[in-house]
Amino acid sequence: MIDLTTTIRISIRSLKANKMRSFLTMLGIIIGVGAVIAMLAIGSGARSRIAAQISSMGSNLLMILPGATTAGGVRMGIGTQPTLSMADAEAIRKECPSVQYVAPVVNGVAQVVYGNLNWSTGVIGTSPEMVFVRDWEITAGRNFSDDDIRGATKVCILGQTVIENLFGDINPLGHVIRIKNVPFTVIGILQRKGQSPTGQDQDDVIYIPVTTAQKKIFGTTFPGMVRIIMIKARSPEVMDSAEREITDLLRQRHRIGPRQDNDFTVRNLTQIMQVQEQSTSVMTILLGAIASVSLIVGGIGIMNIMLVSVTERTREIGIRMAVGAKTWDIRLQFIIEALILSLSGGLIGIITGIVSSRVISSLAGWPVMISIFAVMLSFSFSGIVGIFFGYYPAHKASLLDPIEALRYE
């Protein structure tokens, strides 16, 4: 058996002899590997963005919305009837063992003024538990206290976007802003959270005590009612039982008979997000699978060219056999040629894939994530393609009859 380095050198030489053809053959693999890497990068980029958004929303999240009004047979949609009260929130906190935090919400959009700057933003009246429900850190200052809720004090906690728009570089702590002309003292600053899964800017927000919101900002005809109740369950495992406990409790509290519909809706936000994440994974696998088809097509291209090459080089094979090349010497030479084609195609394909996914990400604004796994996978796949599609031509070459091969014109 001849040594590998010599075989490799022989193979490289014959590939170099047909540069254009070798390149075109490689192109199939380059496109295949590039496509696999780019597709997986886009897919896992999308998935990681969704995962990040899920965790930015807060984990184990449930949202209770009030029910729909029906006025003269016209159903008005979820949230049109104020059926949830502060007392409901309090009851859930006390009586549902699977629930860890409860944050009632009274919200609206309001104009906010600081000095000569103004900004319109979402103002959320809530309890101190909100930051725990949302897994949201207060980077400076303090959270609301129970006294703030009880006394309906005029204090607020600001999101980063609001700070940027009202204060610029000034530290807002202790300053007074006016919400609907009511002065509020800034007591805390929220950490930056970025976009929500639905694309909203989560940092464009002001938290104020829920009682203050009810009494001083969003005066309501239904005192003690809240728009939404946000819930954090104790763990992902008890999400379902938390949902059940809340439903049972609220049905009882709202005196809903066994045949009547709920006048509220419990939404499992985390679950919704997870379904979205799963569908993204499926999409990633699908994209990868489609891309690998082109890799296989590239492999067939290699086989095609290798078969042509074997026929063209029949005489060379005859000469090699005459001077003592054994079956496997010839076979190995052609397999290695196919391997060099597919592996160097694979290498260039990796570079192409990385570059093109970067280009896609900057042009289309999609997040991409190139994983080592995808790179290794497609590279080794290209090697397997090379061996698989190179074997048959190599086998054919090695079984040529030396006499006929020498006579071949």
Rank residues 205 and 310 by Cβ distance to other proteins and give the closer one.
310
For other proteins, which is the closer residue by CB, 13 or 94?
A: 13
Minimum distance between the CB of residue 11 and other proteins, rounded to whole angstroms? 13
Q: Does 3 bind other proteins (CB under 8 A)?
A: yes
Query: For other proteins, which residue of 75, 94, 150, 326 counts as binding (CB under 8 A)?
Result: 326
Q: How far is the CB of 328 from other proteins (least distance, A)?
A: 8
Phi, psi of 179 (to 5 degrees): -110, 120
Other C-beta atoms closer than 10 Å to the C-beta of 148 total 21
Question: How many angstroms separate the Cα of 93 from the Cα of each of 2, 7, 99, 239, 273?
Answer: 79, 76, 7, 15, 25
Only segment of 205-213, 217-225, 314-322, 378-386 that touches other proteins (CB under 8 A): 314-322
In this structure, how many other beta carbons lie within 10 angstroms of the beta carbon of residue 330?
A: 23
B/e letters for 70-96, b = 16+ CB within 10 Å, e = fewer, are eeeeeeeeebebbbbbbebbebbbeeb
- Closer residue to other proteins (CB): 2 or 51: 2
Give 75 or 315: the residue with its C-beta nearer to other proteins: 315
d(CA 243, CA 300): 55
The owner of tokens 């006499």 is 403
User: Among residues 2 and 249, whose Cβ is nearest to other proteins?
Assistant: 2
Indicate the residue among 295 and 325 with the shorter CB distance to other proteins: 325
Q: Which of 323, 363, 365, 372 is the binder for other proteins (CB under 8 A)?
A: 323
**Whose Cβ is closer to other proteins: residue 13's or residue 75's?**
13
Question: Interface with other proteins by CB under 8 A: which range of 186-194, 203-211, 257-265, 401-409?
Answer: 401-409
70, 120, 252, 327: which one binds other proteins (CB under 8 A): 327
**Candidate list 79, 122, 224, 402; residue touching other proteins; CB under 8 A:** 402
Separation of alpha carbons 290 and 36, rounded Å: 8
- Is 20 an interacting residue with respect to other proteins (CB under 8 A)? no
Residue 325 sits in the site that holds other proteins (CB under 8 A):
yes
Q: Of the ranges 61-69, 105-113, 220-228, 312-320, which one interacts with other proteins (CB under 8 A)? A: 312-320
For position 17 contacting other proteins by CB under 8 A, the verdict is yes
Query: Minimal CA–CA distance to 233: which of 190, 266, 196?
Result: 266
In the complex with other proteins, the residue whose CB is nearer, 327 or 380, is 327
Q: Which residues bind other proteins (CB under 8 A)?
A: 1-3, 6, 10, 13, 17, 315-316, 318-327, 329, 402-403, 406
